[in-house]
């Protein structure tokens, strides 16, 4: 029997195919909302506290106020119920949580205070790419055309979409975004690289999303005595990269072995990348909260 595909919208659990929102929802007309994606392995959710904190920060950043009875923790509980209803307690899955500023007559400024935010929560089966993790992925460089608050996880994702699509059309898994001559991050991942033997990534500021896996890996690297230098990689340093990998909730540590049709380092996953893949995998195998 086909498993049910049940999602949650504004207090109601219903089949995905029937889950609809008003055409006046500010998510639909303005991309006026924020979201999170959580990793689930055998029913265990990862880094829930970090995701909840980031959702709070995104909501505050765009000034969406939840109803008193709502909270990121409550959304995660709803997510757990969805995992159960959709029979996703075994194997890998993702939990998606989205909050918009609600439905109201279209106007740029905020809707009346009584307007309840729209909450959409769904879960999905997820299959990590063992092949890319093992053999490495292909990436391209692409101009970073995004706005000035990339630290907020908002629904305004058109620049990410256009870059991700360009990457796909060029046979690549991800686009490495370049702003003001430095590597910021990917369209849905953070980028780490090794230049002159030193592991580097962009610091957390308004030009990158503070990735949860990025942050977890930062701690894990420290534990295994790998130093991380949060000085952004310059575009001019790209030819000097000996290792390159990306991190994300659904990508873990993914080696990048080819960039803009040129091999990165020896064209295969590097030593530091392999080590960090291992420590993250161990953490995922033992972790969950």
Catalytic residues: 153
Residue 240 C-alpha from the chain's centroid: 27
Nearer to a second copy, 113 or 197 (CB): 113
Tell me which stretch binds a second copy (CB under 8 A): 118-126, 134-142, 216-224, 241-249.
118-126
Give the Cα separation of 164 and 251 in Å (integer). 14
Q: What span, in angstroms and rounded, lies between the C-alpha atoms of 7 and 14?
A: 6
Beta carbon of residue 152, minimum distance to a second copy (angstroms, whole number): 8
Indicate the pairing of strand 137-143 with strand 12-15.
Answer: unpaired
Six-digit token string for 193: 């690289």
CB of 120 to a second copy, least distance (A): 5
CB of 215 to a second copy, least distance (A): 21
The answer to the question of residue 110 lying near a second copy (CB under 8 A) is yes
25 makes contact with a second copy (CB under 8 A): yes
Residues in 5-24 at the binding interface with a second copy, rule: CB under 8 A? 7, 9, 16, 19-24
The alpha carbons of the chain give a radius of gyration, in whole angstroms, of 19
Min dist CB 104 to a second copy, Å, is 12
Give how far Cα 56 sits from Cα of 63, 72, 131, Å: 10, 7, 35
Q: Is 129 in the site for a second copy (CB under 8 A)?
A: no
Task: Count CA atoms within 13 Å of residue 119 on its CB side.
Answer: 20
Q: Is 31 in the site for a second copy (CB under 8 A)?
A: yes
In the list 13, 29, 141, 204, the residue contacting a second copy (rule: CB under 8 A) is 29
Strand 44-45 relative to strand 174-179, pairing: unpaired
Nearest distance from C-beta of residue 136 to a second copy, angstroms: 20
Nearer to a second copy, 18 or 229 (CB): 18
Residues from 142 through 171 that contact a second copy (CB under 8 A) = 143, 145-149, 154-162, 164-165, 167-168
Applying CB under 8 A, among 96, 129, 170, 268 the residue interacting with a second copy is 96
Q: Is 3 in the site for a second copy (CB under 8 A)?
A: no
Strand ranges in 42-117 using DSSP code E only, listed in sequence order: 44-45, 92-100
By rule CB under 8 A, what count of residues binds a second copy? 51
Smallest distance, a second copy to C-beta of residue 251, A: 12
One residue of 68, 108, 112, 223 binding a second copy per CB under 8 A: 108
Task: Classify 218 as helix, strand or coil.
Answer: helix
Closest CA to 67 of 102, 32, 104: 102
Of 37 and 45, the one with the shorter C-beta distance to a second copy is 37
- Whichever of 124 and 228 has its CB closer to a second copy, that residue is 124
Q: Tell me how crowded residue 105 is: count the other CB atoms within 10 A of its CB.
A: 8
Beta-carbon-side half-sphere exposure of residue 123 (alpha carbons within 13 Å) = 31
Q: Which of 188, 180, 176, 179 is nearest to 241 (CA)?
A: 176
| Burial class (CB within 10 angstroms; exposed 0-12, middle 13-18, buried 19+) of 79 | buried
CB 213 within 8 A of CB 280: yes
Contact set with a second copy (CB under 8 A): 7, 9, 16, 19-25, 27-32, 35, 62-63, 96, 98, 100, 105-106, 108-110, 120, 122, 124, 143, 145-149, 154-162, 164-165, 167-168, 187-188
């Amino acid at each position: 029997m086909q498993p049910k595909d049940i999602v949650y919208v504004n207090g109601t659990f219903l089949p995905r195919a029937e889950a609809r929102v008003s055409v006046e929802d500010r998510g639909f007309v303005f991309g006026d909302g924020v979201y999170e994606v959580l990793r689930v392995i055998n029913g265990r959710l990862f880094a829930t506290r970090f995701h909840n904190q980031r959702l709070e920060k995104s909501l505050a950043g765009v000034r969406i106020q939840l109803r008193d009875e709502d909270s990121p923790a409550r959304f995660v509980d709803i997510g757990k119920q969805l995992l159960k209803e959709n029979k996703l307690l075994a194997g890998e899955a993702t939990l998606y949580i989205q909050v918009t500023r609600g439905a109201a007559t279209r106007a740029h400024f905020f809707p009346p205070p009584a307007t309840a935010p729209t909450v959409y929560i769904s879960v999905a089966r997820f299959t990590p790419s063992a092949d890319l993790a093992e053999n490495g992925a292909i990436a391209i460089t692409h101009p970073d055309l995004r706005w000035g608050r990339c630290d907020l996880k908002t629904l305004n994702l058109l620049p990410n979409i256009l870059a991700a699509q360009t990457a796909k059309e060029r046979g690549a898994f991800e686009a490495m975004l370049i702003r003001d001559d430095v590597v910021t991050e990917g369209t849905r991942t953070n980028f780490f690289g090794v230049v002159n033997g030193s592991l580097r990534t962009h610091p957390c500021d308004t030009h990158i999303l503070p990735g949860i896996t990025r942050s977890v890996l930062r701690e894990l690297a420290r534990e295994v005595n790998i130093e991380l230098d949060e000085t952004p990689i310059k575009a001019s340093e790209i030819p000097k990269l000996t290792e390159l990998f990306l991190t994300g909730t659904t990508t873990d540590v993914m080696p990048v072995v080819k960039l803009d049709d040129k091999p990165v380092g020896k064209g295969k996953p590097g030593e530091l990348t392999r080590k960090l893949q291992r420590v993250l995998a161990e953490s995922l195998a033992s972790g969950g909260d």
